[in-house]
Amino acid sequence: MPEEGFAEAFGVTEEARAKINLALHVTGQRADGYHLLDMLVTFADCGDRLGFLPAQADAFTLSGRFGETLAGDGGTNLVLRARDLLRKQLGALAFPVHIHLQKNLPVASGIGGGSADAAATLRGLMRLWGMSLPVEALAALALTLGADVPMCLGSRPLIARGIGDQIEAVPDLPAFAMVLANPLKGVSTPEVFRRLTTKNNPSLNLAPGLAESADWLAVIGDARNDLEPPARQIVPEIAVISAMLQSRGALLTRMSGSGATCFGIFASMTAAQEAAAALHGERPDWYFQATETVSGGM
């Protein structure tokens, strides 16, 4: 669906911003197998879009560059699961709805696309249905959809600990000009965790009072993504794409989540846009997107 006609076609629309792990430290593992994480997370001013309309019967349609990837996803799609769980909570007044997902982000790429879509579905349907849930109940429902969904509800900079359920806002985090880059090769998250050699790594510690972007860049640079080394073993293109970002002037590069998306932070949006255009010229079959992240004070 054309970008310019999206808002006109649907009465309620929601943005599902890409979730960027600026840092991801694996600090332990629970007895039930869940890994304990410390994550510094921000959200990009790009992502998927969702539209919502009243309908005679529930319907779900797809468009966008990566829409076909989800065709036939059926009951496993997080958008549909979010719809059904929210309706179960809200009851009979939750009338049938047509949901359209414009899938602009690569699927299973470490930038929270499915989780952001689920969170946007919860927000959009509550607006369409004219109903709401208490904050705690909504967060609990979101967590049943996945550990990343609660943090995507607000889509603002945060630190998440535990399995992602302990969330603390980071209002001082500035916006960053960024290029997202993905070689469009899937990475198995369970396999990445299986290959981790150490699961009890130092936690994420941020010094208080950071004010300048340069200070934050230094702190982020000193942090890590503990999942990047094993992900590079599985998909060597991650190292290639990181080097490509550096060659175009990125001040800092890192993989997000369990991959394979990498990000490069640039000095300005102009520099990021020029880098993305040049990289797309080198590898038009890969994904490159210039964007700006949201600030903590948005």
List pLDDT tens digits, range 166-202. Answer: 999 999 999 999 999 999 998 999 999 999 989 999 9
| Domain end position, chosen among 114, 148, 169 | 169
- Among residues 38, 117, 148, 226, which one is catalytic? 148
Same domain (yes/no): 149, 210? no
Q: Is 208 annotated as a binding residue?
A: no
The pLDDT-based confidence of 212 (bands split at 50, 70, 90) is low
Q: Is 113 annotated as a binding residue?
A: yes
Q: Is 115 annotated as a binding residue?
A: yes
Taking a C-beta distance cutoff of 8 angstroms, is the pair 138, 144 a contact? no
Same domain (yes/no): 248, 289? yes
CA distances to 67, 141, 262 from 84, rounded to whole Å, are 21, 11, 33
Half-sphere exposure at residue 75, Cβ-oriented, CA atoms within 13 angstroms: 0
pTM metric for this prediction: 0.93
- Catalytic-residue membership of 148: yes
Burial class (CB in 10 A: 0-12, 13-18, 19+), 279: buried
pLDDT recorded at residue 83: 97
Q: Is 162 annotated as a binding residue?
A: no
Count the Cβ atoms, other than its own, within 10 Å of residue 107: 14
Q: Which residues, in sequence order, are bridge partners of residue 179? A: 264, 290
Q: Is 55 annotated as a binding residue?
A: no
Same domain (yes/no): 34, 146? yes
Q: Is 116 annotated as a binding residue?
A: yes
- Among residues 19, 48, 117, 226, which one is catalytic? 19
pLDDT recorded at residue 1: 54
Same domain (yes/no): 252, 113? no
Taking a C-beta distance cutoff of 8 angstroms, is the pair 276, 255 a contact? no
- Kindly report the average pLDDT of the chain as a whole number: 92
Give the domain CATH number at 237: 3.30.70.890
Q: Is 96 annotated as a binding residue?
A: no
List pLDDT tens digits, range 62-82. Answer: 999 999 888 766 556 899 999
Q: Is 5 annotated as a binding residue?
A: no
Same domain (yes/no): 283, 144? no
Q: Which domain holds residue 203?
A: 176-294
Same domain (yes/no): 258, 110? no
| Domain end position, chosen among 103, 137, 169 | 169
List pLDDT tens digits, range 257-298. Answer: 999 999 999 999 999 999 999 999 999 999 999 999 999 876
Same domain (yes/no): 73, 12? yes
| Domain end position, chosen among 169, 195, 225 | 169
Taking a C-beta distance cutoff of 8 angstroms, is the pair 275, 178 a contact? no
Unique residue bearing structure tokens 């059926």:
74
Domain count, the chain: 2
Q: Is 9 annotated as a binding residue?
A: no
Residue 211 identity (one-letter amino acid): A
Same domain (yes/no): 128, 230? no
List pLDDT tens digits, range 95-135. Answer: 999 999 999 999 989 999 999 999 999 999 999 999 999 99
Same domain (yes/no): 120, 188? no
Same domain (yes/no): 64, 193? no
**3-class state of residue 278 by DSSP:** helix
The span from the CA of 251 to the CA of 249, in Å, is 6
Structure-block tokens of residue 254: 């890192």
CA distances to 66, 131, 193 from 10, rounded to whole Å, are 20, 18, 40
pLDDT recorded at residue 9: 82
Same domain (yes/no): 180, 158? no
The span from the CA of 165 to the CA of 1, in Å, is 35
pLDDT recorded at residue 4: 59
Same domain (yes/no): 234, 202? yes
List pLDDT tens digits, range 11-42. Answer: 899 999 999 999 999 999 998 888 999 999 99
- Catalytic-residue membership of 19: yes
